[in-house]
Amino acid sequence: MELHHNNRQVCYFFLYLCICGAICETFHYSVLEEKKSGSLVANVLKDLKVDVKELSARRARLVSEGTKQYFQLDPQSGDVLLKDRIDREALCGQKDPCILFSEIVLENPLQVHRIEVEIEDMNDNFPQFSKKEFLFEIPEHMPTNTRFPLEKAKDADRGENAVQNYTLSPNDHFRLDVQSHSDGTKSAQLVLEKQLDREEETRLFLTLLAVDGGSPKRTSTAKIIIDVLDSNDNVPQFDKTVYKVKIMENSQPGSLVAKVEAHDRDLGSNAEITYSFSQVPDDVQRIFKLNKHTGELTVGENIDYEINQNYAIDIKATDGGGLSAYCKVIVEVEDRNDNAPDVTLTSLTSPLPEDSPTDTVVALLRVTDRDSGDNGRTACTTEAYLPFMLKASVNNYYQLVTQQLLDRESISEYNITITATDRGSPRLTSTRIINVQISDVNDNAPVFEKSTYKMQLWENNIPGLLIGLVQAKDPDTEQNAKVTYLLLPGKVNNQPVSSYVSINSETGNLYAIQSLDYEQIKDFQVTVRAVDSGSPPLSSQVMVQVVIVDENDNAPFILYPLQNGTSPSNDLVPRRAEAGYLVTKVVAVDRDSGQNSWLSYELLKATEPGLFSVGAQNGEVKTMRPINKRDTFKQKLIIGVSDNGHPPQSTSATLSILLVDGFSDPYMKIVDIPKEEVVEEEDRTLTMYLVICLAVISFIFLVSVLVFIAIKIQKRRRFIESSALNFPVGPNFPENCGNADAGSLSRAYNYEVCLAGGSLNSEFRFLRPFFPVFSVEPAQSQEVQRISSGSHDLSSHPAESQLVSQVTV
Ligand SMILES: *[C@@H]1O[C@H](CO)[C@@H](O)[C@H](O)[C@H]1NC(C)=O
């Protein structure tokens, strides 16, 4: 502003000069800026065409425009000197040229000369960037030749001293393109020569140098920072393309199978990787689980080697920008011994006949194990003690064969345990029980419970009575064990067995067909056969002995003395006989046997009590005391004989004894009876009383008998009407007689039993002589008996022999 002001003043001054008529000349000088004060700018003497004397005389002086005086004139030399240091840039700024105007005024005549001093530029300023650093953000993979203009550097100096050039620090990616503008300034652009890759260099540091044209040159630098922005230019990369892993089957769910890992060199979401299955079947996806963030492949469901031994799983890794990569995980499943062997029964023969020969195939088995290797290698066994064994056959087949003969009767059923074991660790076993039934073969005959049977039958049985039971067991079963009984034909007493007994073929019960009499038959034997119903049938037989048991159905029978009632025999006893003299012996028999025939004797009545005694066992009549004179000549004894049956049966015998003097010849004594009759006279009255008593008793007895018989007949009629069987009157029984063996007497005696069927006497049985040796005319036709001289009952005692001979005569 001051300058403008000055210029206007200068114009005014020139106008004043023109008016005054003073002509002015202009002198042009130049001086460099930044010179020291006092430095010479120019000498004006020549230009003014004056000498020094005139100069000083004319009082020359330098007048500068404006307030500030930059120059001074030395009047002694005419030199214009710098009064002060001048900074062109401060004085003129961007103005060019920078000129300072002044005037030299001379008096006498007034002369005004213009002086122009141009201030010349000096390179005293550095180029200057507005910032120390410039930041560029450039995406990677920008196309080459992309230009990035740079800010100019400023230089206060002018012209050559201003910025003349830019240079860039050496680098791979950029070059610098410097352009000149019409105003003489220069600018620069960064040109991309090679694509940027963030993954190689995320940040580039460049240095820009601005150079001016001064001398010396002045430079300035600025930093250029280039941040490379990421673009998803990288595909994720797996560590391996194929992962091979092994895993045991039945691994716990959640256990790690493999970890796949992919990397992406990009940044941020472009490097964020998620993992996923690629085209993996659903069932495999259930077995394996993939963590999409970590890439961990874990067990999902149970892994079963037996279903699949290996898996190939494709896994995809995808970054945030959608680029994917693939890898494959090959999982090899390792077998574990988790399957027990399995025993399959292919065929079975059951029931098995017990007569099967050894080596008969009973069953065919197959053992399988789903595991592999040793885990699937199996062995098969069965219990050692069985009559069966296993024979290995091809392809894990086994034959169960018999190794012994079988017997259903000892073991009818087998539970055979088949044990299959594999060789895994730990070993697994499985068992199977095979039930083999043994079927029956008729190999056992019926066996009777006893080797012989002995049965008892009471005589006088009713026909049809159960005698007993035979039983045979057959260890076989069903038909083979169904036993039937039958009687083998045979003879009993010359009659067929079947007329005596019959057998129930089902139960083995033996029944009596007829009523039996012990006195006729004591026992008999029949043979029973037991037959099973097998094919062919087997049988066995047993002997059955039927013993007829005696009943006390016979009263004792007196053999001696003869009890025919007409002439009782007399036994003679000498009066001088001592006590214990054996008078006689009562002989009685009983046709029953055993207890029923054990006879006992007792003295029921005697003429002279206390004189005689009877042996209870042997029937011997003995004197108890010596005979005295008062004892009557004729003694009469009634002796009761009873058997030992239940109830006992008894009979009585009357014995006459004559007491005689001397006993040399008993027959002579008998002749002497008249003598004795004298004695007897004394007893006649007594005898008469006895006879009367006897007659009365006999009469009562007879009446009783008649009444009894009448009652019996009544009962009998009723009984015959109700059961005709009770009293056999068949052809085997002649109307009156039947033959039978003798009873208690030896078999040498035969008696003929005569029955007066239907008559009043039918209850009584009578003995009729059948013995040819003796022939005694019976006093009564009803009963006759004979005793052989060899009879065991009477043979031992001499007195007995006498008695016997007496009887036989
Ligand atoms: C065999 O097994 C069956 C069924 O468990 C059983 O009823 C039978 O009693 C067994 N037999 C033997 C001889 O153990």
Q: Which DSSP letter does residue 261 get?
A: -
Residue type, 775: S
What are the helix (H) ranges across 672-774?
673-722
Q: Which helix (H) or strand (E) holds 11?
A: helix 2-20
**Does 704 contact ligand 1 (Cβ within 6 A)?**
no
145 near 151, Cβ under 8 Å? no
What's the CA gap between 155 and 496, in Å, rounded? Answer: 171
pLDDT value of residue 531: 92
pLDDT value of residue 324: 93
765 near 754, Cβ under 8 Å? yes
**Does 545 contact ligand 1 (Cβ within 6 A)?**
no
pLDDT value of residue 664: 52
Cα 415 to averaged position of ligand 1 atoms, centre (Å): 6
Q: Which atom of ligand 1 is nearest to the CA of 411?
A: 13
Cα 350 to averaged position of ligand 1 atoms, centre (Å): 14
237 near 325, Cβ under 8 Å? yes
Cα 408 to averaged position of ligand 1 atoms, centre (Å): 15
Cα 185 to averaged position of ligand 1 atoms, centre (Å): 119
Q: Tokens in use for 783? A: 């009963």
Q: Which atom of ligand 1 is nearest to the CA of 415?
A: 1
- The rounded Cα 233 to chain-centroid distance in angstroms is 65
Q: Which atom of ligand 1 is nearest to the CA of 413?
A: 13
Nearest to 118 by CA among 100, 93, 102, 104: 100
Cα 432 to averaged position of ligand 1 atoms, centre (Å): 13
Q: Which atom of ligand 1 is nearest to the CA of 412?
A: 13
**Does 435 contact ligand 1 (Cβ within 6 A)?**
yes
pLDDT value of residue 567: 58
Cα 413 to averaged position of ligand 1 atoms, centre (Å): 8
Q: Within a 10 A sphere around the Cβ of 760, how many other Cβ atoms? A: 13
Q: What is the mean pLDDT of residues 19-29?
A: 69
What's the CA gap between 318 and 321, in Å, rounded? Answer: 8
Indicate whether 669 pLDDT > 50.
no
Q: What is the mean pLDDT of residues 485-501?
A: 89
Cα 411 to averaged position of ligand 1 atoms, centre (Å): 12
pLDDT value of residue 721: 56
435 near 425, Cβ under 8 Å? no
Domains of the chain in start order, with CATH, are 26-120 (2.60.40.60), 133-229 (2.60.40.60), 237-334 (2.60.40.60), 342-439 (2.60.40.60), 447-549 (2.60.40.60), 557-681 (2.60.40.60), 683-807 (no CATH)
* Cα-based angle 418, 422, 425 (whole degrees, multiple of 5): 140
Could you tell me what percentage of the chain is helix, strand and coil, using 3-state DSSP and rounding each to the nearest 5?
15, 40, 45
Residue type, 393: S
pLDDT level of residue 739 (50, 70, 90 thresholds) = very low
Which range has the worst mean pLDDT, 260-274, 380-394, 423-437, 659-673? 659-673
User: For atom 14 of ligand 1, which residue has the closest CA?
Assistant: 415
Q: Which DSSP letter does residue 772 get?
A: S
Residue 458 three-state SS: strand
pLDDT level of residue 213 (50, 70, 90 thresholds) = confident
Residue 571 three-state SS: strand
Indicate whether 211 pLDDT > 50.
yes
Cα 543 to averaged position of ligand 1 atoms, centre (Å): 41
Selected residue with higher pLDDT from 48 and 270: 270
**Does 415 contact ligand 1 (Cβ within 6 A)?**
yes
User: For atom 8 of ligand 1, which residue has the closest CA?
Assistant: 415
pLDDT value of residue 769: 38
Nearest to 518 by CA among 244, 324, 741, 286: 741
End-to-end CA distance of the chain: 224
pLDDT value of residue 791: 37
276 near 289, Cβ under 8 Å? no
Selected residue with higher pLDDT from 732 and 628: 628
Cα 787 to averaged position of ligand 1 atoms, centre (Å): 77
Cα 393 to averaged position of ligand 1 atoms, centre (Å): 28
pLDDT in tens, 346-378: 999 888 998 899 999 999 999 999 888 888 899
What's the CA gap between 48 and 754, in Å, rounded? Answer: 230
Cα 483 to averaged position of ligand 1 atoms, centre (Å): 29
What's the CA gap between 378 and 396, in Å, rounded? Answer: 8
What's the CA gap between 141 and 323, in Å, rounded? Answer: 17
pLDDT level of residue 6 (50, 70, 90 thresholds) = low
Residue 733 three-state SS: coil
577 near 584, Cβ under 8 Å? no
Cα 478 to averaged position of ligand 1 atoms, centre (Å): 21
Mutate to test the pocket of ligand 1, among 408, 412, 435, 438 (most ligand atoms within 8 A of CB): 435
83 near 66, Cβ under 8 Å? no
Cα 360 to averaged position of ligand 1 atoms, centre (Å): 22
pLDDT level of residue 610 (50, 70, 90 thresholds) = confident
Residue 27 three-state SS: strand
Q: What is the mean pLDDT of residues 625-654?
A: 87
- The rounded Cα 164 to chain-centroid distance in angstroms is 104
112 near 16, Cβ under 8 Å? no
Indicate whether 298 pLDDT > 60.
yes
Cα 445 to averaged position of ligand 1 atoms, centre (Å): 28
| Long-range contacts, stretch 376-379, CB < 8 angstroms, 24+ apart | 376/339, 376/422, 376/424, 377/422, 377/423, 378/341, 378/420, 378/421, 378/422, 378/423, 379/420, 379/421, 379/422, 379/423
Nearest to 625 by CA among 558, 579, 692: 579
In the block, which residue shows the tokens 């009759």? Answer: 677
Q: What is the mean pLDDT of residues 769-786?
A: 38
**Does 413 contact ligand 1 (Cβ within 6 A)?**
yes
Indicate whether 260 pLDDT > 90.
yes
What's the CA gap between 44 and 132, in Å, rounded? Answer: 49
**Does 383 contact ligand 1 (Cβ within 6 A)?**
no
pLDDT value of residue 136: 92
Selected residue with higher pLDDT from 391 and 10: 391
pLDDT value of residue 14: 57
Mutate to test the pocket of ligand 1, among 388, 412, 413 (most ligand atoms within 8 A of CB): 413
Cα 433 to averaged position of ligand 1 atoms, centre (Å): 10
pLDDT level of residue 83 (50, 70, 90 thresholds) = confident
Query: What counts of helices (H) and strands (E) characterise the chain?
Result: 8, 54
In the block, which residue shows the tokens 């993939």? Answer: 290
Indicate whether 764 pLDDT > 60.
no
Selected residue with higher pLDDT from 742 and 269: 269
Residue type, 166: Y
pLDDT level of residue 636 (50, 70, 90 thresholds) = confident
Residue 112 three-state SS: strand
pLDDT value of residue 545: 92
Nearest to 232 by CA among 130, 142, 305, 322: 322
User: For atom 10 of ligand 1, which residue has the closest CA?
Assistant: 415
Indicate whether 723 pLDDT > 90.
no
- The rounded Cα 350 to chain-centroid distance in angstroms is 24
Gyration radius from the chain CA atoms: 87
Cα 438 to averaged position of ligand 1 atoms, centre (Å): 13
537 near 522, Cβ under 8 Å? no
Cα 781 to averaged position of ligand 1 atoms, centre (Å): 82
Q: Which atom of ligand 1 is nearest to the CA of 414?
A: 13
User: For atom 11 of ligand 1, which residue has the closest CA?
Assistant: 415
Indicate whether 602 pLDDT > 70.
yes
pLDDT value of residue 325: 94
pLDDT level of residue 9 (50, 70, 90 thresholds) = low
Q: String of b and e for 359-373 (b: at least 16 CB within 10 Å)?
A: ebebbbbbbebbbee
pLDDT value of residue 277: 94
505 near 484, Cβ under 8 Å? yes
**Does 417 contact ligand 1 (Cβ within 6 A)?**
no
pLDDT level of residue 681 (50, 70, 90 thresholds) = low
User: For atom 2 of ligand 1, which residue has the closest CA?
Assistant: 415
Q: What is the mean pLDDT of residues 714-742?
A: 49
% of the chain with per-residue pLDDT over 70: 82
pLDDT in tens, 216-226: 888 999 999 99
User: For atom 1 of ligand 1, which residue has the closest CA?
Assistant: 415
pLDDT level of residue 22 (50, 70, 90 thresholds) = low
| Secondary structure E strands in 34-78 | 40-43, 61-64, 71-74
What's the CA gap between 773 and 320, in Å, rounded? Answer: 152
Selected residue with higher pLDDT from 312 and 47: 312
pLDDT in tens, 507-562: 999 999 988 888 888 888 999 999 988 888 999 999 999 998 888 888 888 887 77
pLDDT value of residue 566: 61
Q: What is the dihedral of CA 151, 155, 159, 164, to 10 degrees?
A: -50
Mutate to test the pocket of ligand 1, among 415, 417, 432, 436 (most ligand atoms within 8 A of CB): 415
pLDDT level of residue 12 (50, 70, 90 thresholds) = low
Question: Beta strand pairing status for 539-549 and 452-458?
Answer: parallel
Q: What is the mean pLDDT of residues 630-639?
A: 86
pLDDT value of residue 318: 94
Cα 338 to averaged position of ligand 1 atoms, centre (Å): 30
> What mean pLDDT value characterizes the chain?
81
| Secondary structure E strands in 322-450 | 324-334, 342-348, 352-353, 361-368, 378-382, 388-392, 397-402, 413-422, 429-439, 447-448
% of the chain with per-residue pLDDT over 90: 30
Q: Tokens in use for 299? A: 């067990």
